[in-house]
Amino acid sequence: MKKALMLFTFGVLAAVACQKNPVPEPPAKDASLKGEEVSVKEFPADIKKVFVLNEGQMGANNATLDFLRRSDGQYITGAFKKMNPSAAAGLGDVGNDIAIHGDEVWMVINNSGLVEVVSAADETEIAVVEIPTPRNVAFDDKYAYVTSWAGAFATYGPDYTVTDSANPKGCVYRVDLSTKKLAGSVEVGYQPEGIAYYGGKLYVANSGGISSQLPPLYAYDNTVSVIDTKTFAVTQTVEVQVNLKNVYADGKGHIFVTTLGNYFDVHSGLYVFPANAPDQVTRVERDFLKHTHVSCSFALGEEVYCIGTENEFAFNEKHVYTLWSYNAVKNKLNLYPVDLGGVPYGMAVLEDDMEIRTLLVGDAGDYFNPGTVSCYRLYDAQDKVWRVTAGVCPGHFAVWK
């Protein structure tokens, strides 16, 4: 969920584009799709759709795309299959990331080894790009960049030759935005996850999630790889903390990294460093707070929102989840007294120009059967507004304006 960048950069671009072209659009082909109706009256007016990528269960080929339409409040499940009936295999296996670039929705389908690009207007397929074990995607104005767990490749060849199969490092693949063709790759750290673009550089979070279990390393990675997009080479490696997850840029010179910790003595958390001084890494925490742990996160503008639980090493206890957010420009940490039930698996925050915020939380339930998406208002009562049934493991959100 490196949506910070894409939301910030391209949300703005899309808004600008809309203002320039006030001609009414023809009705979308998916207008006839109906689902469960929910209340969207508090949603910001400039939003067209909120997309939800359901991961599905690995091996079950049941990743699905849902969307919530702002115009009539319809929550529609399985939209990709419905709008692409000729795609017999569906969306694929394990949807790991979703991001919007202009009027395109990019979905990273991890265990199908591809990135699916569809039209945001009607979910019809635009292109498919094959990339081995892709994880997350970010954009600059020419390319999409996709992190991949697949082995280190000197060059991207048709045979995907791995140089070190004992414990291959991952890499970042570059995809030309106009042709949707691969345009090179660069090796980064072990099992790279989140990626964000800011100021001519890419920031890649290396998790080492597989290396931690395997010889010869038996250790998590703890670095962010900084890639110069002009040379497409790693220029710097920043040590943060073990098991990195997501990266966000706030557009104001701050890079955020979330970590999962090692599950027994290093807690999860949020780290921040200035883009112009990457060695100045600080952990976001406050004396007055019990914890600043991160189970899932979402970036919106300058703000990074996190949901975490205090007793995260107590695996057999019930967890109480807390929503908090951090703004590095204001150096301000906010707590939200919202009562979240279940197991939050993915989230999104919407904000209108009156700073009225709405929280969407994906709950994976038992991770086997379809989960739910819940909507909470983050003002006044801070209570739950509605809940709908989504697909299996609703983990990733993207907002199309």
Partner 1 sequence: MILAAVIALFLQAPPDTLAPAAVYAVKELLVVRATEAVRADSLVSAPMGVADILRSFTGVQVKDYGGAGGLKTVNVRSLGSEHVGIFLDGIQVDNAQNMQVDLGRFSTDGLGQVLLYNGQKTSRLQTAKEYAAGASVHLESALPTVSGGEVRLRGGTLGTVNPSVRWDQRLSRWLMLRTSADFLYSAGRYQYPCFDTTLVRENGDIRSLRLEAQLFGRVRGGQWQARVYGYGSERGFPGPVIRRLSFPFSAERQADQDLFVQGGWTQEWTARYSTALRFKYANNYTHYNTHPEKNPMALPYNLHYRQQAGYLSLAQSVVLAGPWSVDVSADVQRNALDSDVGQFVTPRRTTLTGVLATRLVWSRFRAAAHLVYQGAWDSFRTPSAGGWSRSNTYRDSWMPSLSLFWAPLPWLEADAFVKRTYRLPSFNDLYYSLMGNASLEPEAALQVGVDLRASLRPGAWQLELRASPYYNRVSNKIVAIPTLSQFRWTMLNIGLVDITGADIKASASWHRGPWRVGGTLRYTFQQALDHSEPGSQTWGNQIPYIPRHSGSVVLEAGWRDLSFSWDSSFTGARWSRTANTPDYYLAPWSLSSAALQYAFHFRERGVAGRPGAPSAGRALLLGVTIDNVFNTPYQVVQGYPMPGFNAQFSVSFRW
**152 or 281: whose CB is closer to partner 1?**
152
Task: Characterize the bridge pairing of strands 296-300 and 282-283.
Answer: unpaired
Residue nearer to partner 1 on the CB measure, 130 or 239: 130
CB-nearer residue toward partner 1: 235 or 311: 311
In which element (H, E) is residue 2 found?
A: none
Nearer Cβ to partner 1 (155/165): 165
CA separation (Å) from 125 to 75, 103, 117, 140, 235? 20, 12, 6, 22, 36
Q: How far is the CB of 167 from partner 1 (least distance, A)?
A: 6
Identify which of residues 319 and 377 has a Cβ nearer to partner 1 in the complex: 319
Q: Nearer to partner 1 by C-beta: 212 or 325?
A: 212
Nearest approach in angstroms of CB 278 to partner 1 is: 26
Least distance (Å) between residue 317 CB and partner 1: 9
Nearer to partner 1, 22 or 157 (CB): 157
Least distance in Å: CB of 337 to partner 1?
22
Its sign, for the CA torsion 299, 300, 303, 307, is: negative
Q: CB 19 → partner 1: shortest distance, Å?
A: 38
The Cα–Cα gap between 266 and 242 comes to 8
Q: By the 8 A CB rule, do 171 and 187 touch? A: yes
Please report, as ranges, the residues that interact with partner 1 according to CB under 8 A: 55, 59-62, 78, 86, 88-93, 109, 111-114, 128, 130, 132-133, 149-151, 160-162, 165-168, 209-210, 212-215, 218, 260, 263-265, 268, 295-296, 309, 312-313, 315-316, 319, 343, 364, 366-370, 389, 392-393
Upper half-sphere CA count for residue 130 (Cβ side, 13 Å): 5
- Structure letter (DSSP) for residue 81: H
Backbone region of residue 393 per phi and psi (left: phi > 0; alpha: psi in -120 to 50; beta: other values): left
Which letter does DSSP use for residue 253 in this model? Answer: S
Residue 115 or 227: which CB sits closer to partner 1?
A: 115
Residue 356 C-beta: closest distance to partner 1, Å: 30
DSSP 263: S
Minimum CB–partner distance for residue 61 and partner 1 (Å): 4
Dist CA 197 CA 248 (whole Å): 8
Q: Find, among 130, 135, 133, 169, the residue nearest to 151 by Cα.
A: 169
CA distance 64 to 200: 33
Least distance (Å) between residue 137 CB and partner 1 = 17
